[in-house]
Amino acid sequence: MDNSDKIAMVERYVEAFAQGDVNIIRGMYAEDAVVEDPVGSEPHRGLEAICAFYAGALGAGAKLKLTGPARCAGNAVAFPFQVLMPGMQMDVIDVFEFAADGKISSMKAYWGPDNMQTES
């Protein structure tokens, strides 16, 4: 998997949120993938648990806006973005690791309370 493929997956991820389409997410992840969002929380293991997690975010109206370029290294890509929801925004860095077939095997989201801003 070359860097352009990794960056295309980041763009597809943002598109999934723009369209509110969990099926795009389903197509991106490996069956046995693990999502830890945020890092330190209980991981979502397996495609069904991951899709249920994303269905909640999509249902809440979350949209993503990239805030800088993706960084590729090894079998991974890291990228900064904002989650935009009614009344709040959050700065996040996600790291995708890819399986040999090009699907995401692991996603870790780095954010905490200090990265959230709410509108009064």
Neighbours of 33 (CB within 10 A): 22
Q: How many angstroms separate the CA atoms of 94 and 40, rounded?
A: 14
What crossing angle do the helices spanning 3-19 and 47-59 adopt, rounded to 10°?
Answer: 50
Give the pLDDT confidence of 23-75 residue by residue, as tens digits.
999 999 999 999 999 999 999 999 999 999 999 999 999 999 999 999 999 99
Torsion region of 61: left, alpha or beta (phi above 0 gives left; psi -120 to 50 gives alpha): left
Determine the 3-state secondary structure of 55 from DSSP.
helix
Q: What is the pLDDT of residue 8?
A: 97
Pick the CATH number of 3-113 from 1.10.10.10, 3.90.76.10, 3.40.50.880, 3.10.450.50: 3.10.450.50
Q: How many angstroms separate the CA atoms of 18 and 62, rounded?
A: 8
Backbone φ and ψ of 46, nearest 5°: 90, 155
Q: What is the value of pTM for the model shown?
A: 0.95
Residue type, 51: C
List the catalytic residues: 13, 37
Q: How many angstroms separate the CA atoms of 18 and 61, rounded?
A: 9
Whether 119 contacts 87, CB under 8 Å = yes
Give the pLDDT confidence of 81-93 residue by residue, as tens digits.
999 998 999 999 9
